[in-house]
C-alpha cells in the first residue's frame, strides 16, 4: 500500500516554512510533491540534482515564471528548495513533482488582487458591497474546489507508483488526505505550525463553504463584521509591516492573547 505523508504549511509564515524545510532534510521519501506551479518543475528537479539555486532562480525570473518582486518567493519557497538541493544525488530514483496548475495560480493572484482593491475601497469609504464580496468568495472557493480535484487525482496517481511519498500542502491538505485514503493510500497528516489562528478571510471562506450563500440577515451581518475585521487586518497590520510574517504575528499577539505564550516560543511539530 502506498504511503503518503502530507505536511500542512500555512502560507506566509516563516517558521512554518523553516519547519517544513527541516522536515524535508530528515525524512526518507521516493516521491516529493510540492505545491508550486508545474512550470517550475524542471528547474526544481535540477536543484534536487545539485544545480546552484541562484542560477535556477535567475532562470525562473528571466523566463517570467515567478512574480516580481521576488521577496515573497524567497521567504516562502527558497528555504524549501535549498533544503532539497542535491537530494537526488543521494536518492537517484527520487521523483519531484510540482502539482499546481499555472492557470490556477494566475487566477488566484487575480482574485487576491480584487480582495486588496475591495479592502482599499472600504478603507476610503467605510462601505461594503456584500454581494460583490459574496461573488468574489464564491469564485475563490469554486477555483479551489476544481483545482483540488485535479491536484488530488494527480498526487494519487503518481504516489501509487512508489512506496513512500511526501506532499507539501496548504490547508487543503486535509482534503487531499481524504481523497488519497479513498484511493487506498495510507496517509499521515502533519502540521508545520501550531497553534495557527485563522485570519478573518480564512474564517469568511470557511463559513461560506459550510453554510453557503443563502439569504440570511444574521449571516449577512456576520459576513460584514468579518470583512471589516479583514480590512483592519490589512490596513493596520499588513500594510505597515515589512512582510506578512511580521504582520501575522503582530495581529495574533493583539487579537489572540490566549496563544501568545505559544507563539513566542519555538513552534513544535504536531
At residue 263, the pLDDT reads: 60
In a domain, 268, yes or no: no
In a domain, 270, yes or no: no
In a domain, 269, yes or no: no
In a domain, 153, yes or no: yes
Over the stretch 136-164, which tens digit does the pLDDT of each residue have?
999 999 999 999 999 999 999 999 999 99
In a domain, 84, yes or no: yes
Over the stretch 4-44, which tens digit does the pLDDT of each residue have?
999 999 988 998 999 999 989 888 899 999 999 999 999 99
- pTM to 2 decimal places: 0.91
How many domains is the chain built from? 1
Domain that holds residue 203: 3-263
Over the stretch 109-136, which tens digit does the pLDDT of each residue have?
999 999 999 999 999 999 999 999 999 9
SS (H, E, C) the chain: CCEEEEEECCCCCHHHHHHHHHHHHHCCCCEEEEEEEHHHHHHHHHHHCCCCHHHHHHHHHHCCCCCCCCHHHHHHCHHHHHHCCCHHHHCCCCEEEEEECHHHHHHHHHHHHHHHHHHHHHHHHCCCCHHHHHHHHHHHHHHHHHHHHHHHHHHHHHHCCCCEEEEEECCCHHHHHHHHHHCCCEEEEEECCCCCCCCHHHHHHHHHHHHCCCCCHHHHHHHHHHHHHHHHHHHHHHCCCCCHHHHHHHHHHHHCHHHHHHHCCCCCCC
In a domain, 173, yes or no: yes
Amino acid at each position: 500500500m502506498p504511503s503518503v505523508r502530507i505536511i500542512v504549511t500555512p502560507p506566509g509564515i516563516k517558521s512554518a516554512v523553516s519547519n517544513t524545510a527541516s522536515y524535508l532534510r530528515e525524512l526518507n521519501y521516493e516521491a516529493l510533491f510540492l505545491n508550486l506551479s508545474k512550470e517550475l518543475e524542471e528547474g526544481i528537479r535540477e536543484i534536487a540534482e545539485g544545480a546552484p539555486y541562484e542560477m535556477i532562480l535567475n532562470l525562473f525570473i528571466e523566463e517570467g515564471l515567478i512574480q516580481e518582486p521576488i521577496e515573497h518567493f524567497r521567504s516562502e519557497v527558497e528555504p524549501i528548495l535549498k533544503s532539497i538541493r542535491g537530494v537526488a544525488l543521494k536518492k537517484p530514483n527520487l521523483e519531484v513533482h510540482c502539482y499546481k496548475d499555472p492557470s490556477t495560480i494566475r487566477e488566484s493572484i487575480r482574485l487576491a488582487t480584487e480582495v486588496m482593491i475591495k479592502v482599499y475601497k472600504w478603507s476610503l469609504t467605510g462601505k461594503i458591497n456584500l454581494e460583490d464580496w459574496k461573488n468574489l468568495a464564491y469564485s475563490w472557493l469554486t477555483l479551489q474546489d476544481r483545482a483540488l480535484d485535479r491536484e488530488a487525482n494527480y498526487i494519487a496517481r503518481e504516489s501509487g507508483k512508489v512506496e513512500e511519498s511526501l506532499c507539501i500542502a496548504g490547508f487543503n491538505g486535509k482534503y487531499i488526505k481524504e481523497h488519497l485514503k479513498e484511493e487506498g493510500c495510507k496517509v499521515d497528516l502533519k502540521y508545520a505550525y501550531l497553534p495557527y489562528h485563522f485570519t478573518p478571510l480564512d474564517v469568511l471562506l470557511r463559513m461560506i463553504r459550510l453554510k453557503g450563500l443563502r439569504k440570511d440577515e444574521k449571516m449577512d451581518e456576520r459576513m460584514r463584521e468579518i470583512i471589516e475585521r479583514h480590512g483592519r487586518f490589512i490596513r493596520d497590520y499588513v500594510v505597515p509591516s515589512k512582510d506578512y510574517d511580521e504582520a501575522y504575528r503582530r495581529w495574533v499577539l493583539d487579537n489572540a492573547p490566549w496563544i501568545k505564550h505559544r507563539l513566542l516560543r519555538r513552534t513544535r511539530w504536531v
